Amino acid sequence: MTPRTPGRLCGALLALTVVYAGAAWSAATSDCAGLAKLSLKDTSIVAAETVDGPSFTPPGASAALNDLPAFCRVSAVIKPQVRFELWLPLADWNGKFQGTGNGGYNGSIVYNALAAGLRRHYATSSTDMGHTATTPDPGSWAINHPELVIDQGYRAQHETAVRSKEIVRRFYGQAPTRSYFVGCSSGGWQGLTEAQRYPREYDGIIAGAPAFEVIHLHAGTLWTHAWLQKIATPKFRMVTDAVLQKCDARDGLKDGLLQDPRTCDFAPSEIACKAGQDAAACLTPQEVTALEKVYQGARTSGGEEIYPGWPRGMEYAMPLMAGSLPEALAASTFKDLAFADPNWNSLTIDYDRDVRRADDKVGATLNNYSTDLRDFRHSGGKLILWHGWDDPLISPLHTLRYYQKTAAYLAPSNTPPEDAVAALQDFMRLFLAPGVNHCGGGPGPDTFDALTALEQWVEHGKAPDAIIASHSTKGVIDRTRPLCPYPQVAVYLGSGDPNRAESFSCGSP
């Protein structure tokens, strides 16, 4: 679940100096060096150095990060071994702090995220979540180290935010006026964890394609991966073509995108092989069953849902889920983080026993699926939740289900679902992106500036009624489209260029 730059949120970031409350703060190079002497709880400052910009090559990287303002780079370790970096603009600090998310169990500083925040003149942090990446078993660092599982589950991001804000205060002589968190995949999980566990830590959170309720997510991964092995890889594209043939035009425009795949009633049996038909151009009985299981999602032997399946129309992206890396990551959650048993075999998973046992052992630490966001809401926090409809690694149906459950939890009893969702939008909005893969990519518009939308919401009370997204081919923008807050979708107005956002409005599906 290693994301690209979250939702390509930073692909179109504005190169601006944001000035909060009419002032911008600066600091001297000597102030940076002095940070090495800071005394912080359970924290060692490893280095504090000035980077002049405009380029910086991160440790171990072959390519430089460019277009960077001069900054103070602080490296530190929080006990037991949570590494983090904090980048502090030497001039024109916007007065704000930004925390950033990770991908999978990668265990590394995300330098691209630090660079994106710095370019917007944020004081920006990134953490390795308390461990170093391990291969080929992504979770082997956790065996016999329950304290590291806690760091991954919630502690590392929290402690990094606390220490970073203290360093910011010492460096600039003033605490951040606003704090934001930006993440996708595991970063989306981390963002929701912050809202649930530390509701006053961030004023605004962007949580893309969240990998939360991770035990159930990874049970779903193992289920889906196993069934995908029974389908010939070239047929995934064939299935998507059949889905689009049947359902593409139902949203008023035949454009290769399904605005809401839930409205598509395509069944695998519709392209089942007939007598005498070339099996390369249809689904065999085994493949029909396997695809039905993928759409259904992981279930117990009694039929109880463990994790939802995948929507129609994104089958072309499933070769990624069918590969070895998602299976290795998912298996590591069970054998390493939950059971501390390197001999546990994902091929023999018992969906009744093993999921329940993992929930009992580490669910309270790792799942972070609480719908009780009352404290975050009451603190004035704002949350932009988003997911690509064509994500092959984390089901957008799971994110949608959480949004609906949160609405129902926060609403008075017997509130109709549509009214509960409407009431939720005063602090939490969900954007579902048609044709977008995991944290970016795919045929749909996947580049958008959610951070500016979040800043406008938090700082000026302007809620995002739409976020304009774009799609590029070879660096040239060839499609723009509004992303609309659920339950609205982008509706074609009936005239105008269908590749331009102004030809659409947000409305009922």
Domain ranges across the chain: 6-212+368-462, 217-362, 477-509
- Identify the active-site residue in 164, 179, 185, 503: 185
For residue 299, give both structure tokens. 């279930």
CA distance 186 to 206: 12
For residue 503, give both structure tokens. 């030809």
- Identify the active-site residue in 31, 354, 390, 391: 391
Please count the helices (runs of H) and the strands (runs of E) in the chain.
16, 15
For residue 190, give both structure tokens. 């981390």
Kindly give the residue spans of alpha helices, DSSP state H, lying in 272-366.
Answer: 285-296, 319-322, 324-332, 353-358, 364-366
Q: Which CATH class is domain 6-212+368-462?
A: alpha beta
The residues, ordered by sequence, that sit 6+ positions from 480 with a Cβ below 8 Å of its Cβ are 445, 468, 469, 470, 471, 499, 500, 501
The per-residue b/e assignment along 346-369, b for 16 or more CB within 10 angstroms, e otherwise, is: beebebeebbebbbebbbebbbbb
- pLDDT, one tens digit for every residue, the chain (509 residues): 444 444 444 433 333 333 333 345 666 666 899 999 999 999 999 999 999 989 999 998 889 999 999 999 999 999 999 999 999 999 999 999 999 999 999 999 999 999 999 999 999 999 999 999 998 999 999 999 999 999 999 999 999 999 999 999 999 999 999 999 999 999 999 999 999 999 999 999 999 999 999 999 999 999 999 999 999 999 999 999 999 999 999 999 999 999 999 999 999 999 999 999 999 999 999 999 999 999 999 999 999 999 999 999 999 999 999 999 999 999 999 999 999 999 999 999 999 999 999 999 999 999 999 999 999 999 999 999 999 999 999 999 999 999 999 999 999 999 999 999 999 999 999 999 999 999 999 999 999 999 999 999 999 999 999 999 999 999 999 999 999 999 999 999 999 999 999 999 999 88
pLDDT score recorded for residue 145:
97
Catalytic residue list contains 52:
no
For the chain, report the end-to-end CA distance as a whole number of angstroms. Answer: 30
Catalytic residue list contains 185:
yes
Catalytic residue list contains 438:
yes
- Identify the active-site residue in 395, 438, 449, 471: 438
